[in-house]
Structure 1
Amino acid sequence: MTLSLLLASPAFAYDVKPGDTMSSIARDHHLTLQELADANPQISNLNLIYIGQKINTPANSSRPIEPIKEKPMRSSLSDSEIDLLARLVRAEAQTEPLEGKIAVACVVLNRVESPQFPDSIKEVIYAPGQFQPVKNGQINKPADEESIKAVKAALTDQRQLAPGALFFYNPAIAASRWLDTRATTLVIGQHVFKK
């Protein structure tokens, strides 16, 4: 037992501050969200943390600590694709936190890379019946600054925020029995993200 304690990675406690999320804490401590979740089995809902709560932040010796860099994961988007995606993000997630906006952008990018969906931003967004803002015309309104920021963040290593998520919806205003059967990947704000 003594040997296992000596070999274990040291853990440090972090006090949750206003505006913190598990994703931001993981990022700030150079951990993946899964590594942070594994170090905190007492937290059953990663989207529900409280100011002042203690979060274990293990020292991560498996990789060197480097400054966080913006590494484009998909850099082939044109200015018009970034604008279109940012307009969708604004229309779908206008009242959501920045993290929720990034996750919405990630869903579209995940769809572009999935064999189940078309191969371009425009085709994914304008596919029949996929996004309400296309149907109600909200897609035609200009993107706001935060939505553009969210799209650019989704093109960096922040893309890992919603791995595998192909769908999202707000269960308070949309009921989908089909989506309810799919695995939930995360919940941010009012949106539930699904595989």
Structure 2
Amino acid sequence: MNKIFMKAIFITILVSSYTIFPAIENAQINDDLQVADNAKYKKSDIHKKEADSLESRFIKSEDKNLLARLVHAEAKGEPFAGKVAVATVVLNRVQHKQFPDTIKEVIYQKNAFEPVMNGSIHEPANKESYEAVEEALQEQGKDNELLYFYNPKTATSQWIFSRKVVKKIGNHSFAI
């Protein structure tokens, strides 16, 4: 009985640790086997293979920390809703086909965020920034069209002003 119990635990651990890999596009598929659309992924980021959305449980702690530091640097002095919206923009970019596939790649994309360029990304995040990241992760899909944000009083890029603003929170405009 003890052997059976141990085998059951081993099999449970083994099965739960497997990742479902996307179907190979050119593979021959039997009539009985259909590939769901959600089995195809933008790239091979392990977190995207694990879940259809970026859920909190699938985000590495170092990615949450990086995102919280960006939120802290970008939205210091902004209302909590503005901090959540900043984190949401990053998460939406990860999911969008025109942007990189990981939080780190989105944040460090060339010229994407001022705190990366001026070094303030390296300052520690406060508790409210971490809470904003968690809320943005839990509210995925709520504002999934938001891909950009800027402060109209300080922005210098004419291109950013061409984006359609769909929400204003504090000093930031959020756009698509």
TM-score band, normalised by shorter chain: 0.5 to 0.7
In 2, the alpha carbon distance for the partners of 1:158 and 1:84 equals 18
Q: Cα deviations across residues 139-188 of structure 1 (Å, max 9, x unaligned)?
A: 0011100000000000112651x331111000111133212222112000
Aligned pair partner of 2:117 in 110, 132, 135: 135
**1:124 and 2:106 aligned:** yes
Counterpart position of 1:186 = 167
TM-aligned CA deviation for residue 84 of structure 1: 0.3
In 1, the alpha carbon distance for the partners of 2:90 and 2:63 equals 11
**1:102 and 2:84 aligned:** yes
Q: Which has the larger helix fraction?
A: 2
Q: Cα deviations across residues 86-123 of structure 1 (Å, max 9, x unaligned)?
A: 00000000110000000000000000000000000000
AA in 2 matched with 1:82: K
In 2, the alpha carbon distance for the partners of 1:102 and 1:182 equals 20
- Match of 1:133, SS state, is helix
Aligned pair partner of 1:168 in 149, 165, 172: 149
Distance 1:121 1:106, change over 3 A: same
8 Å contact from structure 1 (residues 73, 159) kept in 2:
no
> Once the two structures are aligned, what percentage of the paired residues are identical?
50
Q: Normalization by structure 2: what TM-score?
A: 0.67
Count of matched residue pairs = 123
Q: Which has the larger strand fraction?
A: 1
In 2, the alpha carbon distance for the partners of 1:134 and 1:106 equals 18
Which of the two has higher C-alpha Rg? 2
Task: Give ranges in structure 1 of 5+ residues lacking alignment.
Answer: 1-71
Summarize the alignment of residues 9-158 of structure 1 with structure 2, pairs less than 5 Å apart.
74-75=55-56, 76-157=58-139
In 2, the alpha carbon distance for the partners of 1:190 and 1:101 equals 11
Computed over aligned residues only, the root mean square deviation of the Cα atoms, in angstroms, reads: 1.4
